[in-house]
Structure 1
Amino acid sequence: MARGLKALWCLAMVLLVSNWQHWARGQATSQVPCYFVFGDSLFDNGNNNYLTTPVKVNYLPYGIDFPTGASGRCSNGLNIADTIAEQLGFNSFITHFGVGSCSSYLDGVNYGSSGAGILDETGFLAGELFTMNTQLYNHKIIVSRIAKQLGSEEVAKKYLGQCIYVTDMGHNDYLNNYFLDTYSSSKIYTPETYAQHLIETYTTQLEDLYSTGARKIAVFGLIRVGCMPSNRQQHPNELDENSCAYKLNEDIQIFNTKLQTLVKELNAKHADAAFTYINSYEIDSDVTNNGFKFTSESCCKVIESGSVPCKPLSIPCADRSEYVYWDGAHFTEAKAWAFGKRAYKRGSPQDAYPYDISELVQLKLPKNDANIANHAQL
């Protein structure tokens, strides 16, 4: 009992000092003490800059609208993870993990890595990447640092349990694995069995994240990869009425359906945690694209037709706020904001369930008790 009271007192002091530091710097207090990001190129904020890989975008015109220029984000400015951080009240960018040298980790860390996937073999042809397993390993390094700084693992767990975690994984397991002839996965698995293989691996990873103290976890589904300019150009004879490569979208929707079931199962198993599904496929829809130029051409000039990266030092479109896609696969900052707003505060019940991120912030979770009834039903 005394030990528990001591841990709560220590945690209260940590949060008090954190809030005082924000006030002293003239900043508003964030809605949660920290925000941790796991993901691929939609969320990467510069981690690949530190890795031996050609999959990095630390050159103009990337970052043309970002305060410090080309940062490694696959965007002209902010990405989705950045827009969520801003809506959570963080007045500075969440630090990237880099090569483990980040020091301002109490506000959270972004572990995202362009080209990375759920499977370790995904993207290995592109050199070094922080796969989901690697990102979890990196997170454990940060958790140990937080425990050391706060004085104990118990205090750290209570602190981390109040934070928001987002994870956006699976795109590259299709784009840079299953859909490529250089991989054998499409010969080994049907779309159904491959999605199940990904889900089984992802289940272990999300359980691993839970074991580190994560309790409020937003799991993002996959966007409509068949609508990316690069894939529309590569599959001109396989386009549906929306001019998207329908077969690619059908395959990833199998994964999305299974992911929704997984979120429901994790909520039933862990009554002291809240997992929620962000319906990226729904958010990345024609409705969201209203007001944007949704074409087979991206805002920046890509290296060649059907490719993803912007041509270095090329001049992008002038009306960047009107385009859905910045390059062959990634959103403009304007689209990232449209997307991030619906993930944070859903525009319809289909956008996120059982909670959007703003609801996840406010949620009061019960303590871990085997006798506690399930707190959330999908």
Structure 2
Amino acid sequence: MASGLKALWALSMVLLVSNWQHWTCGKATPQVPCYFVFGDSLFDNGNNNYLSTPVKVNYLPYGIDFPTGASGRCSNGLNIADTIAEQLGFDSFITDFGVGGCTNFLDGVNYGSSGAGILDETGSLSGELFTMNIQLYNHKITVSRIGKQLGSDEVAKKYLNQCIYVTDMGHNDYLNNYFLDTYNSSQLYTPEKYAQLLIETYKTQLEDLYSTGARKIAVFGLVRVGCMPSNTLQHPNELDDNSCAYKLNEDIQIFNTKLQTLIKELDGKYEDAAFTYINSYEIDSDKTNEAFKFTRESCCNVMASGGVPCKSLTIPCANRSEYVYWDGAHFTEAKAWNFGKRAYKRQSSRDAYPYDISELVQLKLHDNDGDIVNHAQL
């Protein structure tokens, strides 16, 4: 107990210094000390720029509305992870992990990698990627650095307990694995069994994340991949009344249903932690997209009919705020804000449960020593 009090005192000093730095620099104090991001191209903020893979978008018109231009984000500007960071009160972008040289890791790190998935073989034909397992390995490097920076692993653990963790994985396990003829997974597994394989693997990974000190974890479900412009063009004879490739959506909904069950299981299993489900499929619904004029078209000129990336140095649409999709698969900044706001502060009980991210921030949790992990009031 004495060691716990000592660690708590040390942590209080760390947070006091951190807040003082924000006050003296005229910066807003974030709602949480740090924010860690795991994911795919919807969250990637430039990690693939450092990797040996053609799956990278560090060229214009990507980033045409981003402060520094093309950054590696699959968007004209901010992505969903960025909008959540802003709503959490961070006044600068969360750093990418890159090749491990990031120095601003106390605020958090974004490990997202375009093309990566839950399974290690997902996207393997596209060269070097940060799979979910590699992202977790990279996070352990960061945790070790935080331990050295704060003086002990115990202080680091209490610091990390207060942070927000988001993970958005699974899209590529379908788009760049199960739905492709170049992989044999669709011959080996029925949609039901494949979803179960993903869930069992993801469970191990989320528990691994918990073991590093993560206690407030928001897990994003899969968006309606059958509505992506690339997929509606590739499956013209399989469209439903909403002009979406219904079979693709049906398969990923099997995963989403199982993921909701998994989140409930983990939330009940770990009493000192809170896992919550962000209902991306619901947030990406036609009703949500009514705010946009163009819901099935790409804003930029893609490389081929049914393709995903924008053609390099081409001129995109001028009315970007009216489009859901920037390229053949990824959202515009306007849609990212629309999405991120509902993940942070749900508009209905279907958007996120049992908590949205703002509630996750305020939630009181107790660690195994009986100390309060977060002192904010819900």
- The alignment's TM-score, normalised by the length of structure 2, stands at 0.97
For residues 204 and 144 of structure 1, the distance between their equivalents in structure 2, rounded to whole angstroms, comes to 21
- Determine if contact 1:7/1:154 at 8 Å carries over to the other structure: yes
- Summarize the alignment of residues 1-378 of structure 1 with structure 2, pairs less than 5 Å apart: 1-368=1-368
- Determine if contact 1:150/1:156 at 8 Å carries over to the other structure: yes
- Three-state SS of the structure 2 residue aligned to 1:66 is coil
Q: CA deviation at 1:369?
A: 7.7
- 1:64-88, CA deviations, whole angstroms, 9 ceiling, x for partnerless residues? 0000000000000000000000000
For residues 307 and 94 of structure 1, the distance between their equivalents in structure 2, rounded to whole angstroms, comes to 29
- Three-state SS of the structure 1 residue aligned to 2:37 is strand
Q: CA deviation at 1:287?
A: 1.7
For residues 173 and 166 of structure 1, the distance between their equivalents in structure 2, rounded to whole angstroms, comes to 18
- Determine if contact 2:38/2:166 at 8 Å carries over to the other structure: yes
- Three-state SS of the structure 2 residue aligned to 1:166 is strand
The letter for the 2-side match of 1:111 is Y
For residues 296 and 161 of structure 1, the distance between their equivalents in structure 2, rounded to whole angstroms, comes to 41
- 1:214-253, CA deviations, whole angstroms, 9 ceiling, x for partnerless residues? 0000000000000000000000010000000000000000
The letter for the 1-side match of 2:133 is N
Q: CA deviation at 1:290?
A: 1.2
For residues 334 and 136 of structure 1, the distance between their equivalents in structure 2, rounded to whole angstroms, comes to 30
Between the two proteins, the alignment pairs up a number of residues equal to 370
For residues 231 and 307 of structure 1, the distance between their equivalents in structure 2, rounded to whole angstroms, comes to 9
For residues 368 and 264 of structure 2, the distance between their equivalents in structure 1, rounded to whole angstroms, comes to 18
- Determine if contact 2:120/2:131 at 8 Å carries over to the other structure: yes
For residues 184 and 24 of structure 2, the distance between their equivalents in structure 1, rounded to whole angstroms, comes to 56
Q: CA deviation at 1:291?
A: 2.0
- Three-state SS of the structure 2 residue aligned to 1:342 is helix
- Three-state SS of the structure 1 residue aligned to 2:290 is coil
For residues 13 and 180 of structure 1, the distance between their equivalents in structure 2, rounded to whole angstroms, comes to 52
- Determine if contact 2:191/2:254 at 8 Å carries over to the other structure: yes
Q: CA deviation at 1:108?
A: 0.1
- Aligned CA-pair RMSD: 0.9
For residues 337 and 128 of structure 2, the distance between their equivalents in structure 1, rounded to whole angstroms, comes to 29
**Identity of counterpart residues, as a percentage?**
85
Q: CA deviation at 1:368?
A: 2.8
- Determine if contact 2:61/2:312 at 8 Å carries over to the other structure: yes
- Determine if contact 1:271/1:368 at 8 Å carries over to the other structure: no
For residues 369 and 151 of structure 2, the distance between their equivalents in structure 1, rounded to whole angstroms, comes to 25
- Determine if contact 1:343/1:352 at 8 Å carries over to the other structure: yes
- Structure 1 residues 23-32 or 222-231, which shifts more? 23-32
The letter for the 1-side match of 2:189 is Y
- Structure 1 residues 360-369 or 161-170, which shifts more? 360-369
Partner of 1:376: none
For residues 200 and 269 of structure 1, the distance between their equivalents in structure 2, rounded to whole angstroms, comes to 15
- Determine if contact 1:95/1:105 at 8 Å carries over to the other structure: yes
- Determine if contact 2:296/2:324 at 8 Å carries over to the other structure: no
Runs of 4+ in 1 over 3 A off after TM superposition: none
- Determine if contact 1:233/1:296 at 8 Å carries over to the other structure: no
For residues 296 and 345 of structure 1, the distance between their equivalents in structure 2, rounded to whole angstroms, comes to 26
Q: CA deviation at 1:13?
A: 0.4
The letter for the 2-side match of 1:192 is E
The letter for the 2-side match of 1:181 is D
Which runs of 5 or more structure 1 residues have no equivalent in the other structure? Answer: 371-378
The letter for the 2-side match of 1:117 is G
For residues 369 and 306 of structure 1, the distance between their equivalents in structure 2, rounded to whole angstroms, comes to 54
The letter for the 1-side match of 2:283 is I
- 1:162-199, CA deviations, whole angstroms, 9 ceiling, x for partnerless residues? 00000000000000000000000000000000000000
Q: CA deviation at 1:3?
A: 1.4
For residues 176 and 31 of structure 2, the distance between their equivalents in structure 1, rounded to whole angstroms, comes to 36
For residues 256 and 361 of structure 1, the distance between their equivalents in structure 2, rounded to whole angstroms, comes to 24
- Determine if contact 2:289/2:295 at 8 Å carries over to the other structure: no
- 1:266-295, CA deviations, whole angstroms, 9 ceiling, x for partnerless residues? 011100000000000000011211121334
- Three-state SS of the structure 2 residue aligned to 1:118 is coil
- Three-state SS of the structure 1 residue aligned to 2:289 is coil
The letter for the 2-side match of 1:364 is K
